[in-house]
Amino acid sequence: MARKKKTEEQIIKEVSKLVAEETLQATDTPKKKKSKSKLMVDGHGDVHEVQKWPKIVKGSHLTVITHENGKTELVWDDEALTRDVQKALTDYENSVKVNTVKTTKRKTKNEA
């Protein structure tokens, strides 16, 4: 199902709401720590709060977490990795079978 892009008006409304919430939180606490997040608008017009640290990049079977001090963690999803490898092997085996079936030996004039 295709998602509709949000209008500028909707985006501005969402950003304003998030900024108002942050402002309200800032006035409630006597000492506000430096914000470790920022707002980002994705391709669909959705507004997301993005954490600066740690930086997290999630793939299909591997998540890379990079911390502010430069330390990097790799978190493997073994089930997803196994599934991806099995699918790749099945696709390869099917392509080999198809190629084998398609190739037939032609008779030459001497054989006929």
pLDDT along the chain (112 residues), means of 10: 67 74 60 58 68 83 89 92 93 81 63 58
The Cβ of residue 76 has, within 10 Å, a number of other Cβ atoms equal to 10
> 48 pairs with which residues across the strands?
40
One-letter amino acid at 2 equals A
- Per-residue pLDDT, 73: 93
pTM: 0.39
Q: What is the dihedral of CA 69, 74, 75, 78, to 10 degrees?
A: 180
- Per-residue pLDDT, 71: 93
Whether the CB-CB separation of 74 and 64 falls below 8 Å is answered with: yes
Whether the CB-CB separation of 34 and 45 falls below 8 Å is answered with: no
> 56 pairs with which residues across the strands?
65
- Per-residue pLDDT, 76: 92
